[in-house]
Chains A and B, each alone.
Chain A
Amino acid sequence: MPKTPVTFTLNGAETAVFVDPGANLLDVLRRGVGDLSPKQGCAQGGCGACSVRIDGALHLACLTLAETVEARRVETTGGLQQGPEPHPLQTAFMECFAAQCGFCTPGMLMAAKTLLERDPAPSREAVIEAISGNLCRCTGYEPIIEAILLAAQRMQGRAA
């Protein structure tokens, strides 16, 4: 079965890759392109560790047919840091100890970024809803919620 060429932007960079028929976006990002930031947890949509943004909307890379991102804009946690400083979400996650084993963190960060774009000053309930598709088996979620609220506060201060 011939491979299919797919071109898309990954974190702003033009990317071209050949994909196997039926390959999911997560495998293509990790093995084809070498972006190891999205993780494979369950491969069935239950854990959110593979969360990426496609045209600004949160998607599960493991359930996305890779060839459907042709000409679309894909963002991963690998592209979150712009410049020398980490993204405010990354800084807040570090300060709040929101990452223990770290496996869920890239998905959490993508979910949080999507939330803060839509709702720059979210309530605690909105944060819980935003990460409700992302499993964390270490932290009990509390430090993650705190980190997202802290980052929101700081990003608001910066914008003002």
Chain B
Amino acid sequence: MLSVETYPSAAEAARALGPGARFLAGGTLVMRDANFALPGLSRIVRTTDASLRGVRTDRGEIVIGAATSMAEIIAHPDTTLLAPVARAIGGPALRNMASVGGNLFAPHPYGDFATALLALDARAQMADGAEIALSDLLARRDAPGGLVTALRLARPDAGTFRFRKVARVKPKGVSVMSMAAVLPRPAGRIAGARVAYGAMAPTPIRMPAVEQALEGATLDAAGIARALAVAAQGLSPPQDALASSWYRAEVAPVHLRRLLLEER
């Protein structure tokens, strides 16, 4: 039997989390589990804390409340950068519900927004005041503990952010894979690239081998060749009804090329 606990503040809700408890934001993940009475879910914890919602700019950084919906990301002038990512997720109804914070915990093959945030080097603000790199949070996201209240990210230089979602169903389908990159080019050559994949591992992941291969490269077909060669290095992508593990690894260089060169 399920119970629902509603707390006035995020901090109180965070303290109430524990074994058998899930935090409910947009509901698109937790209610699905509740509808199918999945084991391991006995308490739904939620909060009426309005501070979890909304986008603002703070000390030059974009701060996105964890309960902010995909529709709000599309509508807000401070997150136009991320609007194409949010638009690639679900249909209009789902986007009115699904939250940015929830996407960090969405099981494979979901998590397109988290993939973009990972490439943008976002940090998660926790209800206890701690700030964690998103890559660290994703690495231990299945371990219980903590509530994400917001995501913080520095605005990348104009024209350096790329996102690509590969789906079989048009116009809206679940990811075969998603890819995101930030490609700074201070002197015409790539320096400090960040590349992230979604649906290519149990959680969205950074691709250090690809990033290193891009270091100092020019952003053209010849310059990215070394990066394409290591596009799936070290990965054993998940296998599901959408794509086999082999297929995901095999087509990764094709989509990485299209991402980097902005080919359609």
**A residues within 8 Å of B by Cβ?**
1, 4, 21-22, 24, 43-45, 48, 51, 57-60, 62-65, 67-68, 111, 114, 128-134
B90 x A133 contact (CB < 8 A): yes
Interface centre among A22, A44, A60, A134 (most CB of B within 10 A): A22
Contacts A45-B90, A45-B94, A59-B93 given; indicate if A67 touches B4 (C-beta within 8 A). yes
Shortest Cβ gap from A14 to chain B (Å)? 22
Chain A hits for B225, CB < 8 A: none
Q: Are A44 and B1 in contact (CB under 8 A)?
A: no
Given A24-B34, A62-B35, A128-B171, A48-B4 contact (CB < 8 Å)? no
Q: Chain B binding site: helix, strand, loop or mixed by DSSP?
A: mixed
Q: Report if B59 contacts A (CB, 8 A).
A: no
Chain A residue nearest to B96 (CB atoms) is A57
B95 vs chain A, min Cβ distance (A) = 8
**CB-contact partner of B27 in A57, A64, A111, A132, under 8 A:** A64
Task: Name A's interface SS.
Answer: mixed
Known: A4-B4, A21-B2, A132-B171. A60 touches B93 (CB 8 A): yes
Do B93 and A43 touch (CB < 8 A)? Answer: no
A111–B44 Cα distance when bound, in Å, is 29
* Residue from the list A43, A114, A133 in contact with B32, Cβ < 8 A: A43
Which residues does chain A contribute within 8 Å of B71, judged by CB atoms? 57
B34–A22 CB distance below 8 A: yes
What are 29 A-to-B residue pairs whose CB atoms are below 8 Å?
Answer: A21-B2, A21-B3, A21-B4, A22-B2, A22-B4, A22-B44, A24-B31, A45-B28, A45-B94, A58-B92, A58-B96, A62-B31, A62-B35, A63-B27, A63-B28, A63-B31, A63-B35, A63-B97, A64-B31, A65-B27, A65-B31, A111-B91, A111-B92, A114-B92, A131-B91, A132-B92, A132-B172, A133-B94, A134-B91
Cβ-based interface call for B108 (8 A): no
Q: What separation, in Å, do the CA atoms of A43 and B27 have in the docked complex?
A: 12
Closest 7 CB pairs of A and B: A133-B91, A22-B2, A58-B93, A132-B172, A63-B31, A44-B32, A43-B35
